[in-house]
Chain A
Amino acid sequence: MDFSVLLTDLPTLVVVIIGVPAVLAAYIVGGEYLVRRLPDKARPSVRPWIWVAPALLLVAGFLVAPAIGTLAQSFEDKNGAFIGFQNFAAQLAGFPTGGAWIAIRNNLFWLIFYTLFVLAFGLLLAVLFDRVPYESVVKSLIFMPMAISSVALVVIWKFMYAYQPPGQPQTGTLNFILNTVFHQDPRTWIQDESPLLGLFPLNDMALIGAAVWGIVGFSLVILSAALKGIPGDLLEAARVDGAGEITIFRRVIFPLMMPTVVVVGTTLVIFALKAFDVVYAMTNGNYHTDVLANRMYQLLYNSHDFGGASAVAVILLLTVIPVLIFNLRQFRAVEARR
């Protein structure tokens, strides 16, 4: 690698390393200086703003401004002319298979199954591992996929789902098991849209399954911490009160974990709505596995349909905001109870 660029840019580097803290320090000192010159009464109300202002500026510049820009763009055509709700109309046209509807349907699947499976497995594993020796080792193993990038995760799962025509040796783990243990023909897990249990497309579930594997450690660790936070006395009291282990879980443990379950659940709902990487890397939205985030990306970079992409982004944003607010409130409630 050529590091000489570092040398030629040395003056810039020095300016950045010294300059940025210097500007910050000057801001703080200057701000304090101005605050001190204010009348005593005004100081407490002004001072917090001096400290919060830099963060507010950053949020405004990098978050609020682009969001407003996106919102504006969603009402414009390719040439920047205002066209009202036409972009939205195009995205929401042709129900149930046209426009963004497949993506919306799939996001709904993600929302339900991804959230449900991650919570259910996380809870189950947290309760089971609570009584296992070497608990931390086992938990680390489950947590490990969290450290893998989504693209690597997809590579792993492509091996799991790999397909060879019937009669040939199966290299995919699932098809191998299907073939040798259950003596069935291999399936094309990623392409196969035939409904599972007569309801949900198999390939959607396969994508969700891979994503669940990647995130279940997250819910396991948080739910496990919540479980550990329940005082042992309570469980003993319930035992003496005549409750069996399942009743104890249902009546004592689960209700006490509920606030945490809700926080993890709503976080997962947000993850599900934002689902992109697994879909992008595994199918690129083909075989009717598209989701909103991937559709937005495709519209933007492949079709150069800025208006359409912005419209999808706005739809996504509007769906996430209520969940986000609920999540924050719930999180605050959990914290307040500590």
Chain B
Amino acid sequence: MASVTYDHVVKRYTADLTVVKDFNVEIKDKEFMVLVGPSGCGKSTALRMLAGLEAISEGEIRIGDRVVNNVAAKDRDIAMVFQSYALYPHMSVYDNMAFPLQMQHMKKDDIDKRVKNASRILGLDNFLKRKPRALSGGQRQRVALGRAIVRSPKVFLLDEPLSNLDAKLRGQTRIELQKLHRDLQTTFIYVTHDQVEAMTMGDRIAIMNAGILQQVGTPGDIYDHPANLFVAGFIGSPTMNFVPATVDNGTAKASGLEVKLPKPVSAAKGTLGFRPEAVTDRVVEGGPTMKMKVDVVERLGSDQFLYGQVGADQVTARVDPRMSVQPGDTVQLGLDTRGLHFFDAETEKALI
């Protein structure tokens, strides 16, 4: 149990290859923090620097109050779950979980107690004697978790632990991990490229792109108030609608849409952003409307997504599943201005 602080951390491989730039995050004790971003954004590198598997080029990483820049991985008292699980193939499940405890020269009885306890929590009791080779993907994943939890580490690192599981198992494990976090009362740092995992599991989310931290906040915060165009586009599925617009006297004009901005903005040009659910089939009296030429209709039972053209722009709308629309139709749609965003054309920062 400890907090983790990234203080102006930089990771540079060569003079012109910097993969993490001026990274600043404070992760509270017992928090479930998710680092999320597209592949190659530096999130794994940030985690590996904390684990002690990569050197820190600049800045400081602290676990609790202790600066760990020059502390070897084995002395940092952290546990890590790898994407590949990295189980020792020549050891039984039991020995895999006992290994980190043996490294601490713990007594055999205590090791036994802890391993048994972890295997009970993770439902591995019947597999303790098996080699990893003889386990399914999900079981291997749980052994990897077991190897981490037996140690009661200060910080628990997870590097894309679900990406090798099938969709159904991934959903289950997501819930199990949250339970585990609640039971263990330990700091979790979780790296993923999947925004759904980030949104569902994180107490807070840190979004990275191209080595730069974009925004840190609670899932709700980030969803409702994205700091910039990248965050707005990365979080949410289907993605937010972006239409280029010019601003004239507090009104944004796009190719097929005109909307009075709820707040004056300084920029004359920019991008109007609204999520599919802000587009409604109920046209609000006096509110902004748009005509959509529907290309594709997706019915998911609980939802209905319309993909089509509004003026010259692609727009996605989430509408009532009972609304009857055929591809090729032109429909009149409304826009809920409470979910409206406006991004500066140059800086891409959110102005609304």
Q: Which residues of A are interface residues toward B (Cβ below 8 A)?
A: 231, 233-234, 236-244, 247, 251-252, 255-256, 258
Is the pair A241, B103 in contact by a Cβ cutoff of 8 Å? yes
Q: Is B173 an interface residue (CB 8 A)?
A: no
**Distance of B159 from chain A, by nearest CB (Å):** 10
Contact sample, A vs B, 18 pairs, CB 8 Å cutoff: A233-B82, A233-B84, A236-B53, A236-B73, A237-B80, A237-B88, A238-B99, A239-B52, A239-B73, A240-B74, A240-B76, A240-B78, A240-B80, A241-B79, A241-B103, A242-B100, A242-B104, A256-B90
Question: In the complex, what residues of A have CB within 8 A of residue B82's CB?
Answer: 233, 236-237
**Distance of A303 from chain B, by nearest CB (Å):** 52
Is the pair B99, A231 in contact by a Cβ cutoff of 8 Å? no
- Given A240-B74, A242-B104, A247-B103, the answer on whether A234 and B80 have CB atoms closer than 8 Å is no
Question: In the complex, what residues of A have CB within 8 A of residue B75's CB?
Answer: 242
Q: Is B177 an interface residue (CB 8 A)?
A: no
- Report Cα–Cα, A242/B90, bound state, in Å: 18
Is the pair A242, B80 in contact by a Cβ cutoff of 8 Å? no
- Report Cα–Cα, A231/B52, bound state, in Å: 18
Is the pair A255, B73 in contact by a Cβ cutoff of 8 Å? no
- Report Cα–Cα, A252/B80, bound state, in Å: 17
- Report Cα–Cα, A243/B103, bound state, in Å: 6
Pick the contact of B99: A233, A244, A251, A258 (CB < 8 A).
A251
Within 8 A of A (CB), among B54-92: 72-76, 78-80, 82, 84, 86, 88-90
Is the pair B86, A234 in contact by a Cβ cutoff of 8 Å? yes
Question: In the complex, what residues of A have CB within 8 A of residue B86's CB?
Answer: 231, 233-234, 236-237
Nearest B residue to A248, CB-CB: B74
**Distance of A110 from chain B, by nearest CB (Å):** 31
- Report Cα–Cα, A90/B75, bound state, in Å: 66
- Report Cα–Cα, A256/B147, bound state, in Å: 19
Is the pair A231, B84 in contact by a Cβ cutoff of 8 Å? yes
- Report Cα–Cα, A240/B48, bound state, in Å: 10
**Distance of A269 from chain B, by nearest CB (Å):** 24
Question: In the complex, what residues of A have CB within 8 A of residue B89's CB?
Answer: 234, 256
Pick the contact of A239: B53, B88, B151 (CB < 8 A).
B53
Question: In the complex, what residues of B have CB within 8 A of residue A234's CB?
Answer: 86, 88-89
Question: In the complex, what residues of B have CB within 8 A of residue A241's CB?
Answer: 74, 79, 99-100, 103, 147, 151
Is the pair A240, B51 in contact by a Cβ cutoff of 8 Å? yes
Question: In the complex, what residues of B have CB within 8 A of residue A238's CB?
Answer: 88, 99
**Distance of A229 from chain B, by nearest CB (Å):** 11
- Report Cα–Cα, A231/B88, bound state, in Å: 10
- Report Cα–Cα, A236/B144, bound state, in Å: 13
- Report Cα–Cα, A247/B51, bound state, in Å: 19
- Report Cα–Cα, A244/B79, bound state, in Å: 15
Is the pair B53, A252 in contact by a Cβ cutoff of 8 Å? no
Is the pair B51, A252 in contact by a Cβ cutoff of 8 Å? no
Q: A238-B88, A243-B99 are in contact. List 10 more A-B contacts (CB 8 A).
A: A233-B86, A238-B99, A239-B53, A240-B74, A241-B103, A242-B74, A242-B103, A251-B99, A252-B88, A256-B89
**Distance of A75 from chain B, by nearest CB (Å):** 48
Question: In the complex, what residues of B have CB within 8 A of residue A239's CB?
Answer: 52-53, 72-74
- Report Cα–Cα, A266/B39, bound state, in Å: 46
- Report Cα–Cα, A181/B330, bound state, in Å: 97
**Distance of A89 from chain B, by nearest CB (Å):** 48
Pick the contact of A243: B51, B53, B74, B151 (CB < 8 A).
B74
Question: In the complex, what residues of A have CB within 8 A of residue B78's CB?
Answer: 240
- Report Cα–Cα, A241/B80, bound state, in Å: 8
Nearest A residue to B100, CB-CB: A241
**Distance of B336 from chain A, by nearest CB (Å):** 47
- Report Cα–Cα, A35/B53, bound state, in Å: 62
Nearest B residue to A234, CB-CB: B86
**Distance of B273 from chain A, by nearest CB (Å):** 40
- Report Cα–Cα, A233/B88, bound state, in Å: 10
**Distance of A94 from chain B, by nearest CB (Å):** 48
Pick the contact of B53: A240, A251, A255 (CB < 8 A).
A240
Nearest B residue to A255, CB-CB: B90
Nearest A residue to B73, CB-CB: A239
- Report Cα–Cα, A241/B78, bound state, in Å: 8
- Report Cα–Cα, A58/B205, bound state, in Å: 71
Q: Which 8 A-B pairs have the closest CB atoms?
A: A242-B103, A237-B86, A233-B86, A241-B100, A239-B73, A242-B74, A255-B90, A240-B80
